[in-house]
Amino acid sequence: MKSQNSKHKEKKFKPVEVRTNSLINCKKLLIFGASGHAKDILDAAISIGYEEFTLVTTDGSSDIADRDTLKESDFAPSDYADWDCIVAIGNITRRKHFYSSYACLRQVSIVSPSAVVSESAKIGSGCYIGAFAYIGPNSTLGQACIVNTHSIIGHDSKVGAYSQIGPKVCIPGNVIVGECVFIGAGAIFNNGSKESPLLVPDFVEIGMGCHITNSIKNRGLKIIPKPNHISINPNQ
């Protein structure tokens, strides 16, 4: 006999459910950015049903072939009032600039179909959640966050606006990450508690592979792991 409480609260998103703030059945997506991160978002957007794309960059250049790209000075927001829009730029400062500058547009979040997001999680506008990422119960993502592939945001954790979570980062329960925080690939955090969450202040940069066991006290710190020491025999 199944327990009445056995119903799962996590689910894989269906195509019609992977957009925040989108108009139903909108097939047109405006993307700010045209390099590596934009490629990830473009792939996910195609897989969830978008069909028409326009890219916008500062100088009109693009690393993505066969896609229309506009120079920002030639771009008229009023021409895209009925389009969905996302800022696909990894750099936090530039992502914040574009998101704020074009707040008049319909900023949406794109979630890869293979990601798992709890029904009780709250996802702000303009976010990207990559392939096989996990967003746990009662967790929150602020606007324009990036959660990269295979990363975990555990239960009751929060990620502030514009922060970037690299691939395979493990953030367990009750961790609060501030705004404009960068966390490199493979970083691992200790869990906090309801009474005493583990805190990461605004503007902190955490290098790849770091292990964060306690709260960080000061804003703007740069934390890097101890580098590997490799001995080289000059005779070889």
How do residues 124-178 score in pLDDT, each as one tens digit? 999 999 999 999 999 999 999 999 999 999 999 999 999 999 999 999 999 999 9
What is the strand order of the sheet 152-153 is part of? 10-12, 116-118, 134-135, 152-153, 170-171, 188-189, 211-212
Interval 41-60 mean pLDDT: 95
Report residue 66's pLDDT band, with 50, 70 and 90 as the boundaries. Answer: confident
CATH code of the domain made up of 22-108? 3.40.50.20
pLDDT at 3 over 50: no
Contact 130, 13 (CB under 8 A): no
- pLDDT higher for 91 or 66? 91
User: CA 52 to CA 200: how far, in whole Å?
Assistant: 39
User: How confident is the model over 70-121, as pLDDT tens digits?
Assistant: 999 999 999 999 999 999 999 999 999 999 999 999 999 999 999 999 999 9
Domain ranges of the chain: 22-108, 109-211
What are the Cα distances from residue 165, in Å, to 53, 141, 161, 187, 221?
26, 11, 12, 9, 16
Mean of pLDDT over the chain: 88
State the fold for domain 109-211: UDP N-Acetylglucosamine Acyltransferase; domain 1 (2.160.10)
Looking at residue 65, what is its pLDDT?
86
pLDDT at 180 over 50: yes
User: CA 192 to CA 175: how far, in whole Å?
Assistant: 6
What are the Cα distances from residue 107, in Å, to 11, 24, 25, 103, 234?
24, 14, 15, 7, 56
Do domains 22-108 and 109-211 share one topology? The answer is no
User: What sign does the dihedral 72-77-78-82 (CA atoms) show?
Assistant: positive
